[in-house]
Structure 1
Amino acid sequence: MTARSSEIDSILQRGADGGRISPEEALLLYTEAPFHALGEAADAVRRRRYPDGIVTYLIDRNINYTNVCVTACKFCAFYRAPKHAEGWSHPMEEILRRCAEAVELGATQVMLQGGHHPEYGVEYYEELFATVKAAYPQLAIHSIGPSEILHMAKVSGVSIEEAIVRIKAAGLDSIAGAGAEMLPDRPRTAIAPLKESGARWLEVMEQAHRLGVESTATMMMGTGETNAERIEHLRMIRDVQDRTGGFRAFIPWTYQPENNHLKGRTQATTLEYLRLIAVARLFFHNVAHLQASWLTTGKEAGQLSLHMGVDDLGSIMLEENVISSAGARHRSNLHELIWMIRSAGRIPAQRDTLYRHLAVHHTPADDPVDDRVVSHFSSIALPGGGARASLPLVDSR
């Protein structure tokens, strides 16, 4: 055994045992650790954390209130500039109609997300969250991200702290990891020059955590960032988590190449994604959950990730327009998602936003029977879709 191999084995063992590994060690594992050994160490972490063998899923809906945005990110195919002929904003009754559909199909969470509309300040979000919460108190509002918080505070001329306190009081339950993309300066500036810095994104998250609003953290791979920058992204998140403990989960996903300015010049491979998933499970000793993104990587990679340390397979996302606009076309239904988990040797369980188990499907006899619960890749990408498109409540093809 070479000295390098011995070093890698030592790091893998320490990580598998729950020890802390450095960013430099994480980069070494990401680039040089044998694939199977890396996956085995990451899965050891999952088994220790979740010895019951349960892998969770969520039923939720992404509801976009507007596609009008002033930020013009190069990887985004969803937004339209202010005054563009294809720009739209949903009226409140349309948002509530979509919430009603989600509730009918068993959703426990909504993600209300949209562009940085030049006129939407804190007052707009207060009304949005309060109205949804009053109509559907059973829905957790896991929504927006630091970028929207910075934007609404600027429009309304208030501090970040005041914006967070007010939207929390209005009904926001937790913050999505939206807008993280790549946090290190070089790749972030290259793909989103008008967006806040990664450090600023994390400052808002840290402030929210200290005000009692937890969140998730995400990462978009495949826009030309280096391996070292991918690991630096993880380090930046872990440093905040060391101080606040407010990130519930880490969710990496892969850049989608259609209909945007980057035009697919760079992309992350499935192997790169799976290696990153495994390294993340070893590196984030202080983050409870690791979620795979089958929406962008496909169901086969999503299932493989269950052997790389993943304990959550994300959601039957009843609607998703942003990533779908850039080419994500992977759909599923509830039965298929449960099959993906069970055939990987895990026990499926529906969870809520806080990762509490709502229904554990120990055997197929425990499985839900609603054939209408299907992921719906994009209401605006389907024939006849758009501002008022409905879910296919019966068609489960």
Structure 2
Amino acid sequence: MDIELLIRTQKNKKLRDIGEKLLQERRLSPEDALELFHSNELTYIGTLAELVNRKKNGMFAYFIVNRQINPTNICVYQCDFCAFGVVKSDPKAYEMGMEEILSKVRETYLQGGREVHIVGGVPPHWKVEDYVSLVRTIKENFPEMVIKAWTAIEIHHMAKVSKRSYEDILKELKDAGLSAIPGGGAEIFSERARKIIAPYKANAQEYLEVHRTAHRLGIPSNATMLYGHVETYEERVEHMQKLRELQDETGGFQVFIPLAYWPEGTRLGGKRTSSVDDLKTIAISRLFLDNFTHIKAYWITLGERIAQIALNMGADDLDGTIEEEKIVHSAGAKSAYKQSKEKLIKLIKDAGKVPVERDTFYQVVAIHS
């Protein structure tokens, strides 16, 4: 389709002006993003997003052979939107031993895995040494594996209980073998919404400061947004604006990951987001976050089919094989627990894109054309 013709024939003047802005590679305003969220022109928005994506990533769509480990579901915060975290006395509570964790890492390593992604609950009885020891032990046993571990929430908690700075905590983790931090825990930055869904965990300023500190120390990170619960479109845009501002400052974010809220088993309740909302959120994030190279369609929360469609609406990454994921599945996600490398390659090829196996830092490992 002729993109200029598509924009020129758009009947809504505000949407037409947004299209012209993008053709001129001018930055969208928060008002522009809000206009897109309120629009029902999904095909138009998705086509614009794919135009921007192809300028940044061509026909490449990325994946990684990795392993997610959720070492415990015991959590001090007990957020109403979360079905994963429980108190220590709960019959569903668990803590993995080190041998079990190493066994899972070994399995992925032998399959050509390059990354272990660690995130879980925040147990009240864990000390900083427990987090550091886990990273160090994995790195000592599997020095070639990149460790992406502990969200800003967990790092903030470590700093709080030890009365140390974020910088001290991050330096110790980095010395132990940590190379990147995931984006979880951002939820939604709005103070109003955060008081409802997660009133006790680190606030937006603290989350952003952990990432700012990590970037200053040469530790890249991911960024997320949980949407589809109690937040408004205005609060989604405000969230992305704060991330865009920090990325302008540091350049340390590698990818933005919109995470669809799953309500099953949560105290907050609610309904699952629509596929239209999922695709629109992916596309608008691609258009608004002009200083992010990558937008992830996280197949765990979206499901395979919507993630595949998203690869033609602004997303360029599916995440990875993952192997095991407990947090979102606790809230009702029905996606398979793991994907084979071959399945991800097929999903990408069937979407008309070129599958690119990557490492944690988006360096190309192999192109599966």
Q: TM-score, normalised by structure 2?
A: 0.93
Task: Find the counterpart in structure 1 of residue 280 from structure 2.
Answer: 275
Equivalent residue, structure 2, for 1:181: 187
Measure how far apart 1:226 and its partner are. Answer: 0.8
**Partner Cα distance (1:350, 1:175) in 2:** 20
CA distance in structure 2 between the aligned counterparts of 1:188 and 1:4, rounded to whole angstroms: 38
Tell me the distance in 2 between the aligned counterparts of 1:317 and 1:201: 24
Q: Structure 1 residues 220 and 276, CA, compared in 2 at 3 Å: closer, same or farther?
A: same
Which residue of structure 2 lines up, in the alignment, with residue 305 of structure 1? 310
Question: Where does residue 28 of structure 1 map in the other structure?
Answer: 35
How far does the alpha carbon of each residue in 1:33-69 deviate from its partner, in whole angstroms, 9 at most, with x for none? 6222211111111111123x11111111111222111
Provide the residue aligned with 1:105 in structure 2. 111
Structure 2 partner of 1:12? 19
CA distance in 1, matches of 2:172, 2:190: 30
Alignment pair present for 1:349 and 2:331: no
Listed as ranges, the matches of 1:1-397 within 5 Å are 5-32=12-39, 34-51=41-58, 53-263=59-269, 265-331=270-336, 332-362=339-369
Q: C-alpha distance in 1, partners of 2:218/2:89? A: 37
Deviation at 1:5, TM superposition (A): 1.8
SS in 2 for 1:219: strand
CA contact (8 A) 1:121 1:151 kept: no
CA RMSD of aligned residues (A): 1.7
Asked if 2 retains the 8 angstrom alpha-carbon contact of 1:182 and 1:233, the reply is: yes
- Letter matched to residue 275 of structure 1: K
Query: Counterpart in 1 of 2:4?
Result: none
Q: Give deviations 1:278-305, integer Å, cap 9, x for gaps.
A: 1111111101101102211221111110
Identical pairs, percent? 39
Residue 372 of structure 1 corresponds to which residue in structure 2?
none
2 CA distance for matches of 1:39 and 1:183?
25
Please tell me whether the aligned partners of residues 249 and 289 of structure 1 are also in contact (alpha carbons under 8 angstroms): yes
**Is the contact between residue 278 and residue 308 of structure 1 (CA under 8 Å) also seen in structure 2?**
yes
Count of aligned residue pairs for this structure pair: 360
Distance in 1 between the 2:149 and 2:133 partners? 14
Paired residue type of 1:345: G
The gaps in structure 1 that reach 5 residues or longer are: 363-397
Q: Structure 1, residues 230-286: CA drift from partner, whole Å, max 9, x if none? A: 1111111111111111110001121112211122x1432111111111111111110
SS of 1:56's equivalent? strand
- Residue 105 of structure 1, CA deviation: 2.0
Q: Indicate conservation of the 8 Å contact 2:86/2:92, yes or no.
A: yes
Residues 135-162 of structure 1: CA deviation (Å, up to 9, x unaligned): 0011111111110001111222211211
CA distance in structure 2 between the partners assigned to 1:343 and 1:85 by the alignment? 43
Aligned to 1:387: none
Q: Could you tell me the TM-score, scaled by structure 1's length? A: 0.87
**Deviations 1:165-216 (Å, cap 9, x if unpaired)?**
1111111100100111111111111111111211221111111111211100
Please say if residues 8 and 33 of structure 1, whose CA atoms lie closer than 8 Å, have aligned partners that are also in contact. Answer: no
Q: In structure 2, what is the Cα distance between the partners aligned to 1:336 and 1:85?
A: 35
The answer to which of 76-85 and 19-28 deviates more is 76-85
For structure 2, the 5+ residue unaligned runs are 1-7
Shift of 1:329: 1.6
Distance 1:269 1:114 in 2: 27
Q: Tell me, in whole angstroms, the C-alpha distance in 1 between the residues paired with 2:195 and 2:111.
A: 40
AA paired with 2:156?
A: L
Aligned to 1:385: none
CA distance in 2, matches of 1:18, 1:352: 29
